[in-house]
Amino acid sequence: MAIPSKQIGWSQESNLIWEIAKEVEQINRIVGAGKPNGTSATGNVGIPSRQIGQSQEANLLYELLKQVARLRQTLA
């Protein structure tokens, strides 16, 4: 799942996390980071599966973590 669209009414924390996630996504595009090739169901080793009912902040942090994993694998 990709980073969700920014929504009206999100908390200040959610908006900040969203901005950071979008910046990391842009960096991944610039350096050509593809989909991670880990062994977990999400393709990200060490990243737990996304859970139903998580807060918006938790969902955004999950997507941010996936983006950082992509970048790390590309630069490794």
Any domain includes 1: no
Q: What is residue 41's predicted lDDT score, i.e. its pLDDT?
A: 43
Long-range (24+ apart) CB contacts under 8 A made by 40-48 are 42/66, 44/69, 45/69
What DSSP state is assigned to residue 47?
P
Does residue 4 fall inside a structural domain? no
| Count of the separate structural domains present in the chain | 1
* Nearest to 50, CA basis, from 28, 66, 71, 33: 66
3 falls within a domain: no
The whole-angstrom separation of Cα 72 and Cα 8 is 31
Domain span at residue 55 reads 12-37+51-75
Tens place of pLDDT for every residue, the chain, 76 residues?
Answer: 567 788 888 888 888 888 888 888 888 888 776 655 554 444 444 555 666 677 778 888 888 888 888 888 887 7
Give the amino acid at 29: R
In the numeric block, which tokens belong to residue 70?
A: 């992509």
Place of tokens 């009206």: 8
